Amino acid sequence: GAGVSQSPRYKVAKRGQDVALRCDPISGHVSLFWYQQALGQGPEFLTYFQNEAQLDKSGLPSDRFFAERPEGSVSTLKIQRTQQEDSAVYLCASSFGGSGETQYFGPGTRLLVL
């Protein structure tokens, strides 16, 4: 496909479980972003990759959140020991160039922690 894809689309986890969310960016896009969107609010920046390098992770809310993009393409956002406050939609976006260029978003993964 031509767009950004994310999987799974929905994830239900019990509190304390670890989860892994996958993002497949548009082929050839250098930059990849992760955002967290709480219900009824705008997306909030989590982390940013340029190729395989994680250039900014200042938005990750705690050390339970970890992201990687080992080969500069697919990225995984991992949340360890999930808490109820982690329930949100996690959006991935990619752009052709740097962080100032137009971002193209995936459909998001809706995470519900019970």
Partner 1 sequence: LAKTTQPISMDSYEGQEVNITCSHNNIATNDYITWYQQFPSQGPRFIIQGYKTKVTNEVASLFIPADRKSSTLSLPRVSLSDTAVYYCLVGGAGTASKLTFGTGTRLQVTL
Which of 86, 100, 109 lies closest to 4, judged by CA?
A: 109
Q: Is 48 in the site for partner 1 (CB under 8 A)?
A: yes
| Size of interface with partner 1, in residues (CB under 8 A) | 28
Q: Please list every residue from 2 through 31 that binds partner 1, using CB under 8 A.
A: 4, 31
DSSP conformational letter for 17: -
First-residue to last-residue Cα distance in the chain:
33
**Dihedral angle over CA of 64, 99, 9, 82, nearest 10:** 10
Fill in the per-residue mask, 79 to 98: x = in contact with partner 1 (CB under 8 A), - = not in contact: ------------x-x----x
> Which residues in this chain contact partner 1 in the complex, by CB under 8 A?
4, 31, 33, 35, 41-45, 48, 55-56, 58-59, 91, 93, 98-108, 110
